[in-house]
Structure 1
Amino acid sequence: MTLGLMNANPVVHAKKERIARSEQPNSDHSIHPLDIYDFVRDIRDPEHPYSLEQLNVLSEESISVDHKLARILITFTPTVRHCSMVTVIGLCLRLKLKHHFPPHFKVDIKVSEGSHADEESVNKQLNDKERIAAALENPNLRQLVDECLYSNEL
């Protein structure tokens, strides 16, 4: 048991096999939610050596794409209602998506309804450009985000 963790003994789920999509991207360069899920599912949780997928923080169903509104919505569920790393998880998702999907898409990142004690405040922080920029200028926070994003690539 690790001391000081909000969820010292999380439930760990098996990783799913990568989804082989038979359809080719459309000529209009549409984005499929499963493409996004495959891209972000291996982000490591800030407190554990497990991915967001393994902790069931993120699922295939938690991502939606609205091509008419050019909007990507990612909804994730922290493992505990008082998760102190919830904004770090949101930053990781945002940073991972930043350069890999068309810039005309608006990305909204939210915690699942009722899944966090400070849901409204967290959702506001995760979608405020100035707060995101300020957070990523903090060297300690940026290092933590980078570790979560790139630990699986080593």
Structure 2
Amino acid sequence: MPAEVYNANPTVFATSKVSKPSIASHSIWIDDADAPRHGEKDEAEPIDSDEIFEHIRQIVDPEHPLTLEQLAVVSAQQVEVNGNHVLVEFTPTVPHCGASTLIGLSIRVRLMRTLPQRFKVDIRVKPGSHQSESALNKQLNDKERVAAALENNALLNVVEQCLKPPT
């Protein structure tokens, strides 16, 4: 958790529906056991925005023991799927939220772990919702910056805490 709390008293919203069973935690890297064997077809199963939302709604905020859905940081309306392209837009609770990078990184890691490799994922801050919107969007969608962040054990530990099912 960050040392400084950027929103000490967030508004908590009701969740939209009962969540599906939580997603099991595993390595952020691809598991070769799940890869198709030689001669097997990798059928492209369609994935919709509701399924993507189910994957990210239970991510826990880095500052509070609340989910991103409870804080209205993510909603089903902020997820778009167009073929193999996924766009997730999130809304920080305050315009100066220093935890926005961790939130976006947590969303990216969850989707890296759950979606097939064929998907291109873009994570963006809702336009006008953060004072460093452009820099955040650039950082969250740069493969090299994301890879470097995930090599940092301290950051990775915070992301892992965010991805644990809420208590």
Shorter chain as normaliser: what TM range? 0.7 to 0.9
Match of 1:117 in 2: 131
Match of 1:16 in 2: 16
Offset of 1:101 from its aligned partner?
A: 1.3
Match of 1:58 in 2: 74
Q: Any idea what SS the aligned residue of 1:65 has?
A: strand
CA distance in 2: counterparts of 1:63 and 1:135, whole angstroms: 24
Amino acid aligned to 1:9: N
Out of 109, 125, 150, the residue aligned to residue 136 of structure 1 is 150
Q: Gaps (5+ residues) in structure 2? A: 21-42
CA distance in 2: counterparts of 1:136 and 1:33, whole angstroms: 26
Alignment of 1:63-142 (within 5 A): 63-67=79-83, 70-142=84-156
Amino acid aligned to 2:71: L
Structure-1-length-normalised TM-score? 0.87
Match of 1:24 in 2: none
CA contact (8 A) 2:58 2:165 kept: no
Match of 1:44 in 2: 60
Q: Which has the higher contact order (CA 8 A, sep 6+)?
A: 2
Q: 1:83 to 1:14 in 2, by over 3 A?
A: same
Structure 1 stretches of 4+ with a deviation exceeding 2 A read none
Q: 1:5 to 1:103 in 2, by over 3 A?
A: same
- Aligned identity (percent) is 46
Amino acid aligned to 1:65: V
